[in-house]
Structure 1
Amino acid sequence: MQISNAIIKITNLRLRTFIGFNEEERQKQQDIVINVEIHYPTCDALQSDVVESALNYKTITKSLIKHVEEGRFLLLEKLVGDLLAICMEHSSVNFARVTVDKPHALRFADSVSLTFESER
């Protein structure tokens, strides 16, 4: 059996941050929902069962949380780009996709979302 990549999915990470350029958005934190997909080669972890040979998704998630909670963002594009860069910092990651939803950003919509992806 040949497995080329492991795919880690972080689903519906709910956080609060300052996001937006309207005065109200700059004064009050808003809910956001983050979804991440990370691909990395898994050969070593699959065969060795050694923790250090796997990608530590808890470390990545903590970095994402810290960046969101400590940040202030005018544009959703900036936030999503930053989060994607955090995922791609790890040399073993060969593909990542980040989607951020901003619930209730539009009056008659459940949310507005933006997705960026990158690969090596």
Structure 2
Amino acid sequence: MKPEIAIIRIKNLRLRTFIGIKDDEMQNKQDVIINASIHYCANKARNSDNMDDALNYRTITKKIISLVENHRFSLLENLTNQVLYIASEHPWVDLAQVEIDKPHALRFADSVSLTLSYQKQND
């Protein structure tokens, strides 16, 4: 049987953090909206119904929340990269993508977002 790829999607995780380089951005927390997609082989989990055979999205989300709420970031690129690291750090992860929106970053736009991806390299 072919391996089954599971996709965990964390959608619209709304957090507040210090992000930016302007004085008001360094003084006041801002909203960020995080979306993550994590791909992994789910054969064990779909056949066992055992939590030890699955990626724990709650654990991943708690790590993301802790990172975002307890640190300061100048660049959206750095924040997105650090969240991507958390999303892709488990050895079962084959592919991960993170998009982070910074609402109201530009005057006439709903938000500015940045997306970064990770893909496991097969040796």
Aligned to 1:73: 73
TM-score by length of 2: 0.95
Superposition map of 1:1-120 within 5 A:
2-120=2-120
Residue identity in the other structure for 1:17: T
Partner secondary structure for residue 90 of structure 1: coil
Partner secondary structure for residue 90 of structure 2: coil
Q: Aligned partners of 1:87 and 1:14: how far apart in 2?
A: 16
Q: Aligned partners of 1:104 and 1:18: how far apart in 2?
A: 14
Q: Aligned partners of 2:57 and 2:105: how far apart in 1?
A: 29
Partner secondary structure for residue 21 of structure 2: coil
Percentage of identical aligned residues: 54
Q: Aligned partners of 1:21 and 1:70: how far apart in 2?
A: 17
Gap runs ≥5 in structure 1: none
Residue identity in the other structure for 1:110: D
Aligned residues: CA RMSD: 1.0
Please list every run of at least 4 consecutive aligned residues from structure 1 whose deviation after the TM superposition is greater than 4 angstroms: none
Residue identity in the other structure for 1:96: A
Gap runs ≥5 in structure 2: none
Question: How many residues are treated as equivalent by the alignment?
Answer: 120
TM-score by length of 1: 0.97
Residue identity in the other structure for 1:69: E
Q: Aligned partners of 2:104 and 2:85: how far apart in 1?
A: 26
After superposition, give the CA deviation of every residue in 1:44-98 in whole Å (9 maximum; x if it has no partner).
Answer: 0111111110000000000000000001000000000000011111111111000
